[in-house]
């Protein structure tokens, strides 16, 4: 739903002529900062129809008495925030899969992808829908395939730091 707000503009001119509808809008604005409530009140209290309100608002804008500004609703803000978070999360997961594959390949060679896919499967998930809350567990799971203690420690350290900093 599109929401509007009105912003009054201080005028340098001393004499401004207003119609009764224009004056009603200015008065109602001082009582109701919510544009939709103001329109309803104008219709109910002053018996001004929507076309007349629209015409009066347009006239007030031309006279540079007010600005009618479109605002975002809370739902719009939430949706954009959610989309941005989801997009960032997907990017982070793609980087995570590259990082874990690269780090594990250093320790065990070209079978790293197979080991990772098997471990992901044990969580009854895929790389596309792997829950981020299980990333530490996944790192521990695939680390069991590294046989050298030093390489295992290096892998775990690199991955845990990556998760902490990026996920």
Tell me, what's the pLDDT at 74?
A: 57
Question: Burial of 98 by CB count in 10 Å (0-12 exposed, 13-18 middle, 19+ buried)?
Answer: exposed
Q: Provide the CATH topology of domain 3-71.
A: Arc Repressor Mutant, subunit A (1.10.10)
Dihedrals phi, psi of 66, to nearest 5 degrees: -150, 160
Tell me, what's the pLDDT at 76?
A: 53
Q: In this predicted model, what pLDDT tens digit does every residue of 25-53 receive, in sequence order?
A: 888 877 776 777 888 888 888 888 888 98
Q: 0.75 cut: is pTM over it?
A: no
Q: Nearest 5 degrees, angle CA 21-CA 24-CA 25?
A: 90
Q: In this predicted model, what pLDDT tens digit does every residue of 74-133 receive, in sequence order?
A: 555 555 555 555 555 778 899 999 999 999 999 999 999 999 999 999 999 999 999 989
- Each domain of the chain, given as residue ranges in start order, spans 3-71, 82-166
Tell me, what's the pLDDT at 88?
A: 57
Helix crossing, 135-143 with 149-166: angle to 10°?
170
Q: Which residue has the tokens 């902490």?
A: 164
Q: How far is CA 119 from CA 100, 114, 122, 145, in A?
A: 12, 9, 5, 10
Tokens of 115: 């080991």
Q: Which residues pair with 4 in a beta bridge?
A: 70
DSSP state, residue 100: H
CA 94 – CA 78 distance, rounded (Å): 24
Tell me, what's the pLDDT at 130?
A: 92
Model confidence at 73, pLDDT cuts 50, 70, 90, reads low
Closest CA to 68 of 24, 29, 12: 29
CA 117 – CA 126 distance, rounded (Å): 8
């Amino acid at each position: 739903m599109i929401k509007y707000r009105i912003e009054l503009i201080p005028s340098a001119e001393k004499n401004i002529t207003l119609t009764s509808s224009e004056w009603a809008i200015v008065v109602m604005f001082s009582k109701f900062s919510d544009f939709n409530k103001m329109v309803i009140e104008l219709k109910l209290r002053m018996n001004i129809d929507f076309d007349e309100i629209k015409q009066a608002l347009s006239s007030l804008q031309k006279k540079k008495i007010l600005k009618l500004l479109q605002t975002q609703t809370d739902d719009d803000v939430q949706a954009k925030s959610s989309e941005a978070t989801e997009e960032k999360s997907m990017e982070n997961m793609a980087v995570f899969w590259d990082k874990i594959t690269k780090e594990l390949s250093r320790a065990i060679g070209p079978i790293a992808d197979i080991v990772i896919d098997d471990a992901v499967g044990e969580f009854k998930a895929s790389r596309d829908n792997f829950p981020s809350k299980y990333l530490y567990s996944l790192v521990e799971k695939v680390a069991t395939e590294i046989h050298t203690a030093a390489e295992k420690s290096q892998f775990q350290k690199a991955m845990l730091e990556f998760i902490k900093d990026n996920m």
